[in-house]
Structure 1
Amino acid sequence: MFTPSELLEINTLLTPENKIVILTHYNPDGDAVGSSLGLRHYLKAKGIDAEIVVPNDFPKFLKWMPESRKAIIGEYKRKVAFDIINEADVIFCLDFNSPSRIGILGDWLIHAKAKKILIDHHQQPEKFDFVYSDTVIPATCQMIYHFIEAMGDEKLVNKDIAECLYTGIMTDTGGFRFRSTSAATHRIIANLIEKGADPSFITSNTWDTNTVSRLHLLALVLARIEVVKDGKVAILSLTRNELKEYGFQKGDTEGFVNYGLSIMGVKMSAFFMEDLYEDFVKISFRSKDDMDVNQFSRKYFNGGGHINAAGGKSDESLQNTIETFKNRVEGEAL
């Protein structure tokens, strides 16, 4: 958490007169969107307006959250996004550890005159004016709750804040089943429910949103799932042509990688997908126990993330990327 003196200084910055902006990472997920909206609603409860700017669009299944459609999408409104960031007095940087993680917004953030406040749970954060970094906490949304507590404003947590923070914690913990989910996490979830978050409503709006095309894609993935390294590693994949054939939309493959971990004996799952428009392969890694996919991804696939959840990319073909992965994973202790 920020030091007491830092919290006092941040509090002096949070005024209706200052222009406050909230940024999050490229390809925003539930934790990125939930933490950004949760913080915005908290500031609103304090009588402070804040703009959310995201690098690119986020999945439809996250757009039920209150005021989610008010976020400025950088790739659609570049001039508007640039002006907002350039004129900001305070910029909250949520759920990313480096300007390189926010796409076209990165250079604008670096050159902005604003005070920059990082709240993030990824490893190896870069330098910001104020840094609250904790890699043990499973979701940035949980850190936003801790921040609100530290500011002495827990009483301001309302239904809108609760719904957004609950969503981010739920999605980033895989429905509260990842190892990083702590007793503190569950206590916060209980508090959010008391503040108005409805677990059934949130789960239904976030996860019970399958389209027929998404289920077709999932069927393809599951039909050819491959298990290697004596049954400890699962491999899933999709080609560009398959994505096109079934009308892929952003968010359709969310959670596919987790199916690999549901196989008995599997400790690591890797999902490979050709980008829809450019010649590279996006990779998602998940693991159990002490298998560190963050270090694995950093070492071999230009990526990173958390110990049990990380991402990477490859400029090789899909087939060559999978073969490279198989060779690399054979040398790892699982």
Structure 2
Amino acid sequence: MIRISIDAMGGDHGPEIVMPGLLRVAERRPDVRFLIYGREDVVSPHFIKHPRLRAISQFVHCEVAVRMEDKPSQALRHGRWKSSMWKAIEAVKAGDADVCVSAGNTGALMAMSKFCLRTMAQIDRPAIAAIWPTTRGESVVLDVGATIGADAHQLIDFAILGSAMARAVFGIAKPSVGLLNVGVEEIKGQEDVREAGSLLRAAELTSMDYRGFVEGDDLGKGTTDVVVTEGFSGNIALKTAEGTAKQISGYLRAAMSRTLMARIGYLFAKGAFDRLREKMDVRKINGGVFLGLNGIVVKSHGGTDDEGFAAAVELGYDMARNGLIEKIRADLDQFHARAPELSRRKAAEPTEEGQD
């Protein structure tokens, strides 16, 4: 059984969306069980509507719900020990759940997750990883907003984390990995990015196929299974892609309703447009994963519907089912076993003077 702890109070709609979403997961994943945390007076009216969900769930009343507008420091000060968000995370730490899912306040969820679960021994900073739709299928992109800036070794950590996630979610034995940069040439980009690329190439890790640098347009092409960047540029790329998808959808709707002939043409091409709509449906790739912690935490978009929340829960299910944490630890051990040798080799190399 895969046990998933749920913060039922998170998001714009709370249990009104969470409960139908969990029911969808239960119908598709018969080996799932839920630990649901929230205020009884708010959750119960929605929980009692779904007998099948009640049969595979345990509900725990919590006095406090973290608000979407709360600052992380406020959430930690007032919500620790007794909020639905904290309790859901704590269930992972205690071993009562394999993964935690919340649609609540992102900053509060990250702060509580770091405080409760702690980062892995060899990880400096956690990262938020997202599933990115591409022309080839899907890729893992990280970091998309956990931290601003990253040095070479943190970028290497992100590459290891993203590679392990791709193996767990996509079932790829040796995912291809690229570092996001301003050009594909080895001499381009910031020093930290170039150093990370050099160390990854020298490490020759068996868990990944390092392909070098990739550019912004490679995100949509799906040039690599994993794209690594720091949180500032990653978050901008994510928000830009979301905005572009909405912009294109708006253009299409306006064009198809502009004239009578356009509406008639839409009827003939409805099948093609339905496939396009499904491909661009952000609900199906909902869920940001906090990687680098001693446990799996998934952040669902706060404004999603029940199908979107179900997608976030199923993402957590797949990672727990396929041993994400064990894969990350094994990959980190392999890299750090070689780290002293790589550091000596790097120190012996001549330095590059300038760049194009």
TM-score normalized by the length of structure 2? 0.31
TM-score normalized by the length of structure 1? 0.33
* Higher RCO (Cα < 8 Å, 6 or more apart): 2
